Amino acid sequence: MNSLIIAGLLLVLFGFAYQFGWARSRALATPSGVSVHSRPQYHGVLVALWTLIPALLVLAVWAFFSPGVIRWYTLSQIPADILASLDAPALNAQIARIRDLASGFGVAGAVHPFEEAAGANLGRFQLLSFLIMLAAAAGLGILGLGLAQRRISARLRARNEVERAISWALIACSAVAILTTLGIVASLVSEAFRFFTYVNPLDFFFGTVWAPKFSSTGAGNAGQYGLLPLLAGTLMISAIAMLVAVPVGLMAAIYLNQYAHRSVRAVVKPVIEVLAGIPTIVYGFFALVTVGPFLRDMGAAIGLSISATSALTAGLVMGVMIVPFISSLSDDILNQVPTSLRDGAYGLGATQSETIRSVLLPAALPGIVGAFLLAVSRAIGETMIVVLAAGNAPILRGNPLEPVSTITVSIVNQLTGDTDFTGPQSLVAFALGLTLFIMTLCLNIIALYIVRRFREQYE
């Protein structure tokens, strides 16, 4: 409810300020021939920004400090003798009970008189702080409106200022993406470093046994954390997936780009891309329920022992999932090949197939290779299909007909359930995540290098 009130206040301020600035700008363009630098909508947006930004700053300050202030006030409502008898978990539970009472939600068990009084006081305090925040936001917004309307004149370069503000907003959005990536990397590195205080990095990166044991922190036998079985399973499944996705996706792209009639392309291309919209959990269940038993029965018919959950099952289904990814990227890359190259080949007497082999594919090869490498990184990071279809057997083996495990499956296993996040049993997930991040980052860098290095040869 509070969020709706805040959003409504911001919309009202923005709309009123925009209309006010627009009207003032129109009034400047009188029939006397005064030349106004910027159009009325730029003046309206500028006034709206001067009104909205101070209000948003008030909201940001309130959102940053209000949790601490609310917690301090809640603690002040708990009697000193009760407060002294509570440890950290019990104190957090007590604060949660008081907040639930203040919000009007029920709580389990009997409600003590001090809890009821504290909940009522906290509710009034939250309402008062919210009203003060709204008044401050509205007041600063109106103050910004007053300052902005004084600046409106025929010479005001409102368009330049609005475009500058939009540029800063775009920079801020880009910074959010960069800072998010840096935050993820920092968290992975810090937690992985904690893990390597328990386990020797050489034992982790070159170990051949994966057998983590969930035990209490400080226990003598914490298990073995060899990465090689997981890495082998990950690469095996990714290789099988690429053997399926690369030829099918590339041939589909060539057919749609060169051979298919426009009406056929209009139907087939969306049908292929529908596969990209299917959730991976659906692919996983399809592999577990249909593909795995089918491969097992087919293997039994010809004398092969194929497990229903195996690297082959997961790789085949993952390859089908990646087909629309490769097909769409390859089709876009083929469309970017200059038409003059094809026309020149036809003019020299080359057939369509010769043009595709000798002109089209060589010209598009850097982009296609980059698309393949991006697809490999997509396969390496896949989780749900391998969780359900790979078999979860972290054993170093080279037989794709048997169950294996992958890095992503082990991350899920180590972080599932009631685990101790201070021990190596859970911290190993961050080391695995860092390894996976480095692998995909290297593949992306190689893909970018290939695209940039060899594209110059054809441009």
SS3 for 128?
helix
Sequence-distant (6+) residues with CB within 8 A of 268 are 256, 260
Arithmetic mean of pLDDT, 126-155? 83
User: Which residue has 């490769």 as its token pair?
Assistant: 326
| pLDDT bucket at 29, cuts 50 / 70 / 90 | low
SS3 for 268?
helix
Arithmetic mean of pLDDT, 265-279? 86
pLDDT of 413 > 50? The answer is yes
DSSP 225: E
pLDDT of 459 > 60? The answer is no
How many alpha carbons lie under 13 Å from residue 161 in its C-beta half-sphere? 20
How far is Cα 177 from Cα 279, in angstroms, rounded to an integer? 25
Arithmetic mean of pLDDT, 425-453? 86
pLDDT of 3 > 50? The answer is yes
pLDDT of 276 > 90? The answer is no
**Considering only CA atoms, which of 377, 382, 369 is closest in space to residue 447?**
369
pLDDT of 153 > 90? The answer is no
The alpha carbon of 313 is separated from its chain's Cα centroid by a whole number of angstroms, namely: 27
| pLDDT bucket at 175, cuts 50 / 70 / 90 | very high
Asked if residue 355 lies in contact with residue 427, where contact means CB atoms within 8 angstroms, the answer is no
Tokens coding 388: 């359900």
Amino acid at position 125, single letter: F
According to the model, what pLDDT value does residue 52 have? Answer: 85
How far is Cα 450 from Cα 370, in angstroms, rounded to an integer? 7
- pTM of the prediction? 0.74
Count of residues in the chain:
459
**Lowest-confidence pick of 214-228, 293-307, 392-406, 417-431:** 214-228
- Where do the H-state alpha helices sit in 211-227? none
DSSP 110: P
Asked if residue 407 lies in contact with residue 225, where contact means CB atoms within 8 angstroms, the answer is no
Mean pLDDT over each residue of the chain, to the nearest integer = 84
Tokens coding 314: 């997961």
Element (H, E) at 123: helix 113-151
| pLDDT bucket at 140, cuts 50 / 70 / 90 | confident
How far is Cα 22 from Cα 24, in angstroms, rounded to an integer? 6
DSSP 404: B
- Tell me how far CA of residue 68 lies from CA of 64, 80, 123, in angstroms: 8, 19, 16
**Considering only CA atoms, which of 404, 353, 401, 403 is closest in space to residue 229?**
404
| pLDDT bucket at 1, cuts 50 / 70 / 90 | low
- The tens digit of pLDDT for each residue in 362-383 reads 888 888 888 898 899 889 988 8
Asked if residue 372 lies in contact with residue 242, where contact means CB atoms within 8 angstroms, the answer is yes
Tokens coding 434: 């860092």
Asked if residue 57 lies in contact with residue 97, where contact means CB atoms within 8 angstroms, the answer is no
**Considering only CA atoms, which of 280, 314, 239, 277 is closest in space to residue 384?**
280
Q: Strand (E) positions, 134-174? A: none
- The tens digit of pLDDT for each residue in 68-124 reads 888 888 888 888 888 788 788 888 888 888 888 888 777 777 777 888 888 888 888
| pLDDT bucket at 33, cuts 50 / 70 / 90 | low
| pLDDT bucket at 217, cuts 50 / 70 / 90 | very low
Q: What is the DSSP string of 229-249?
A: HHHHHHHHHHHHHHHHHHHHH
Q: Which domains does the chain have, with CATH numbers?
A: 2-156 (no CATH), 223-455 (1.10.3720.10)
Sign of CA dihedral 86, 87, 88, 94: negative
The alpha carbon of 272 is separated from its chain's Cα centroid by a whole number of angstroms, namely: 24
How many helices and strands in the chain, by DSSP H and E?
A: 18, 2
Arithmetic mean of pLDDT, 224-245? 92
Amino acid at position 322, single letter: I
Neighbours of 341 (CB within 10 A): 15
According to the model, what pLDDT value does residue 101 have? Answer: 82
Arithmetic mean of pLDDT, 427-434? 90
Q: Give percent of the chain above pLDDT 90.
A: 19
Arithmetic mean of pLDDT, 343-348? 87
Give me the long-range contacts of 280-283 (CB less than 8 A, separation at least 24). 280/321, 280/382, 280/383, 280/384, 280/385, 281/384, 281/388, 283/317, 283/318, 283/320, 283/321, 283/384, 283/385
DSSP 391: B
DSSP 350: -
Tokens coding 63: 């959102």
How far is Cα 304 from Cα 222, in angstroms, rounded to an integer? 38
Asked if residue 47 lies in contact with residue 17, where contact means CB atoms within 8 angstroms, the answer is yes
Arithmetic mean of pLDDT, 240-261? 91
